[in-house]
Amino acid sequence: MIMIDLKNKLSHAVDNIIAKHAADVDRQSRFPLESINALKDIKLLGAYIKREDGGLGCTLSDIAGMTMMIAQKCASTAMIFAMHHIQVACIMHHEESSSFKGYLKEIADKQLLLASNTSEVGTGGDNGRSIAGVEYVGPRCTLLKDASIISYGAYADSILVTAKKSPDARTTDQVLILMKKEETELTETGVWDTLGMRGTCSPPFQIKGSFPIENIFNTQFKTVLSQTMVPVSHILWSSCWLGIATDAADTARKYVQSKARKSKPYLPDTRLAEMNNSLQLLNSQLIHCLDTYKALLELPEEHRKSELTSTPVLLKWNALKMNVSNDAAGIVHRAMQICGISSYQNNGQYTLAKHLRDIHSASLMINNERLMETNASLLLIYKNSDHPLF
């Protein structure tokens, strides 16, 4: 559970700042500066970082809860908050060198914002492969990469970027690199003018940078990917999408209640109950994944890796992402059916237009087709009775 004081502060920021700017952020497809500054004011960019490193020491469940709260008013701000924490978790779970430890302290102290780049022109959403490779030039390394998307790239203090270990390495032989703003040149190579999630400001960029070798993760990227990036992404993205769906269902409830007050007797609308059933199911799946991940991280090191990469566990993270991205969109659609034309308006008390546009990014953000194919392949080779599927 989020600490009470922090929850109150976040609730205040959500109601008074984040909600207030959400429509303008969406309309102008602009970075939610006021909202991110409000999160920085309450030190939330260091929320997951341990207290001994200057952070707030929150759990992943706390971060998921906060993401959901923010998403109910501004999905773009929530997604930025989620993506930042995915990167923080990658550093925290895998790197212990003094330079990475020092950087975590700097994130908490200066409230630095971290972005991510895995997708590349030529590989798309296949984040297990890279085309650009790291070059070693004297004591420093360089990278030139055509990134197909970097959310809030222009506003981030650093980006965790994937690349091949060297230009002649195999496409799957990847490393993860901390590329700091002051050492990186970003050139926008396209525009971000999308249906939804407009405030994430995620155009394509050419990344050109030079960095010390210590900024390359010691842990192989495929380990970071399977043990942290995939589970934490799917958990926090799902929290964001559930936040959108929760607010849509809430809007529908208010619409029905207001109608009921005006014309009595008014029969209960069973569609509200149906939506609630769906939300409960998705929330339970999210909580189950959070509990599973927590339990796996607490295992002794010698068991942790094999358990975290076991087939049933990998299936679970992907199933969460696919279910929530599909069903949350269904919930928003159902809420629109209930509210009728007032939800189709771009403004007004019952508008769900932005919810609908934002939620349609969910199934594309690492395409569900790819994840379905991955899970189907895992099920085809699954035969280990030591790891039951459920």
Ligand X SMILES: Cc1cc2nc3c(=O)[nH]c(=O)nc-3n(C[C@H](O)[C@H](O)[C@H](O)COP(=O)(O)OP(=O)(O)OC[C@H]3O[C@@H](n4cnc5c(N)ncnc54)[C@H](O)[C@@H]3O)c2cc1C
Cα 105-109-112 angle, rounded to 5 deg = 90
Which of the 8 DSSP states describes residue 170? -
Q: Is 25 in the site for ligand X (CB under 6 A)?
A: no
Minimum gap (Å) between residue 240 Cβ and ligand X: 10
CB of 342 to ligand X, least distance (A): 27
Binder to ligand X among 149, 176, 224, 338 (CB under 6 A)? Answer: 149
With contacts defined by CB under 6 A, name the span among 49-57, 146-154, 221-229, 279-287 that binds ligand X: 146-154
8 Å CB contact between 330 and 166: no
The Cα–Cα gap between 323 and 218 comes to 34
In degrees and rounded to multiples of 5, residue 117 shows phi and psi of -140, 115
The yes or no reply on residue 128 touching ligand X (CB under 6 A) is: no
Query: What x-and-dash track marks residues 63-102 binding ligand X by CB under 6 A?
Result: --------------------x-------------------
Q: Could you check whether the bond before residue 265 is cis, i.e. omega within 30 degrees of 0? A: yes
Shortest CB 58 distance to ligand X, Å: 22
- What is the smallest separation between the CB atom of 138 and ligand X, expressed in angstroms? 29
Q: Across the beta sheet with 135-137, what order do the strands follow?
A: 135-137, 140-147, 205-212, 184-188
Tell me whether residue 224 or residue 338 sits nearer to ligand X (CB atom).
224
Using CB under 6 A as the binding rule, whether residue 225 contacts ligand X is answered as: no
User: Does 312 sit near ligand X (CB under 6 A)?
Assistant: no
Contact positions with ligand X (CB under 6 A) in 328-367: 361, 364-367
Q: Does 200 sit near ligand X (CB under 6 A)?
A: yes
269 Cβ contact partners less than 8 Å away, ≥ 6 residues apart? 256, 338
Q: Which residue of 369, 377, 384, 387 would you call a contact of ligand X, by CB under 6 A?
A: 369
Q: How is residue 225 written in tokens?
A: 């990917």
CB atoms near residue 190 (< 10 Å): 12
Give me the least distance between CB of 366 and ligand X, in Å please. 5
Q: Give the separation between CA 207 and CA 389, rounded to whole angstroms.
A: 41
| Footprint (CB under 6 A) of ligand X, residues 99-118 | 115-118
CB nearer to ligand X: pick between 327 and 358: 358
In this complex, which beta carbon is closest to ligand X, that of residue 61 or of residue 119? 119
Window 201-220: residues binding ligand X (CB under 6 A):
202
With beta carbons less than 8 A apart as the criterion, state whether 296 and 258 touch: no
Count how many Cα atoms sit within 13 Å of the Cα of residue 61 in the half-sphere of its side chain. Answer: 15
Q: Could you tell me the smallest distance in angstroms from the CB atom of residue 321 to ligand X?
A: 11
Considering only 17, 22, 150, 282, the residue that binds ligand X (CB under 6 A) is 150
Q: Which of residues 265-294 bind ligand X (CB under 6 A)?
A: none
Among 119, 174, 215, 251, binds ligand X (CB under 6 A): 119
Q: How far is CA 72 from the centre of its chain?
A: 15
In sequence order, what are the residues at sequence separation of 6 or more whose Cβ sits closer than 8 angstroms to the Cβ of residue 73?
Answer: 14, 15, 18, 19, 22, 247
Check if the beta carbon of residue 143 is closer than 8 Å to that of residue 163.
yes
Q: Which token pair is 51?
A: 């207290």
Shortest distance (Å) from residue 137 CB to ligand X: 25
What is the dihedral sign for C-alpha 277, 281, 287, 291? positive
For residue 100, the number of C-alpha atoms closer than 13 Å in the C-beta half-sphere is 23
Which of residues 53 and 199 has its CB atom nearest to ligand X in the complex? Answer: 199
Residue selected from 373, 379, 384, 389 as contacting ligand X according to rule CB under 6 A:
373
Least Å distance, CB 29 to ligand X, is 12
Please say which residue, 78 or 92, places its beta carbon nearer to ligand X. 78
At its nearest, how many Å lie between ligand X and the CB of residue 153?
7
Binding site for ligand X (CB under 6 A): 83, 115-119, 124-125, 149-151, 197, 200, 202, 361, 364-367, 369-370, 373
